[in-house]
Amino acid sequence: MNLTANNLSSIYVLDQDQALEFYVGVLGLEVTADLMFGPMRWLTVRVPGDSKQILLEKPGPPAHDPATADQVRELVAKGAGGGWLAFTADDVDAVYEHLVAHGVEVVQPPADQSYGRDMGLRDPFGNNLRIGTFPKI
């Protein structure tokens, strides 16, 4: 067996329209799919030019029964939903200024780390995100 790529990841969001405003309107990602897929809205975004997609998944059917969906929403809102994303940027400090101007919750301003320069923030739902200059692997 030989896996060759990870082309789709997911993160829980509590409102997909608000997620579009943040991930597309503020972060500058692009929509790759927005359609009804059975009982759920299949909404994916990606960094322009990248092939990897992110499913902005709302807790609920078919993955969760109502009680489980409530628990997942509660965990996401606390920042404990288990999901997080990391993005690279050429200029972390310019991204920081852009995000602050848009009222984004920055939990760690840009700082030099042993692996590069990065910052921490939360999306409108509580998910943790990192943006930085990371070495290419």
Helix, strand, coil tally for the chain in percent (to 5): 25, 40, 40
116: region left, alpha or beta (phi > 0 left; psi from -120 to 50 alpha): left
Q: What is the pTM of this model?
A: 0.91
Contacts of residue 105, defined as CB under 8 A and 6 or more positions apart, other chains included, come to 121, 122
Q: What does pLDDT average to over the chain? A: 92
Q: Does domain 8-133 have CATH number 3.40.50.1820?
A: no
- All structural domains of the chain with their residue ranges: 8-133
- pLDDT tens sequence across 35-76: 998 889 999 999 999 999 999 999 998 889 999 999 999 998
Peptide bond into 62 cis (omega under 30): yes
Alpha-carbon distance of 50 to 136, in angstroms, equals 15
